[in-house]
Amino acid sequence: MFETLLLLTIPTLLFRLLGAVGVARFATWRVAAAHGLAFMLLMTGTSHFMPNSVPVLPHHGDLARMVPPFVPFPDFMVYLTGVLELAGALGLVLARFRRPAGLALAALFVLLLPANIYAAVDHIPFDGSAATPLWFRIPEQLVYIAVALFAALGTYSRVTKGSRSMIENRAESVPWT
């Protein structure tokens, strides 16, 4: 139940630790969170393309069962959302695209909420495991929405008397952050 949250939290903390020891790319929590979310999306997005025989991750069949009946073409939708998650992950690690990627991912997470609710209410399991309960799924989605917005809206920091903080300037001056 907590696996996906750990795929976000642990990399975010590790990236921020790198920033604390001098890696300029991860000098802020926003950048570390953007990269942590990108790592999580790389893992979850990849699972959209996994065959049913792969037991390590949720696979395409698991995700297709999550698609509510009112959504047409469930297999296509799983592939499409996988592509969007992977594209969003790439956008988050490129400072130039972080803002639009974060905003688009927040919207995607909102659009995926009905599938998560459906999977919880109808007890749709992943790879034979028990279904994640609704009381966990909704707050989990809210965390992903919040992190995507945090990463996106932090790309252009607040202007205070015409200048940004030194740390934000340093972190954003590196072209590949």
DSSP secondary structure code for residue 163 in this structure: B
Per the CB < 8 A criterion, the answer to whether 67 and 20 are in contact is no
DSSP secondary structure code for residue 25 in this structure: G
| Interatomic CA distance for residues 14 and 4, integer angstroms | 16
CA atoms within 13 A on the CB side of 105: 36
SS3 state of residue 160? strand
Q: CA distances (Å), 113 to each of 20, 93, 102, 108, in order?
A: 35, 24, 17, 9
As given in the structure block, the two tokens for residue 70 are 């009112």
Residue 121: its pLDDT value, please?
93
DSSP secondary structure code for residue 94 in this structure: S
pLDDT tens digits in sequence order for the chain, 177 residues long: 788 899 999 999 999 999 999 999 999 999 999 999 999 999 999 999 998 887 767 889 889 999 999 999 999 999 999 999 999 999 999 999 999 999 999 999 999 999 999 999 999 887 677 888 999 999 999 999 999 999 999 755 444 444 444 444 445 545 455
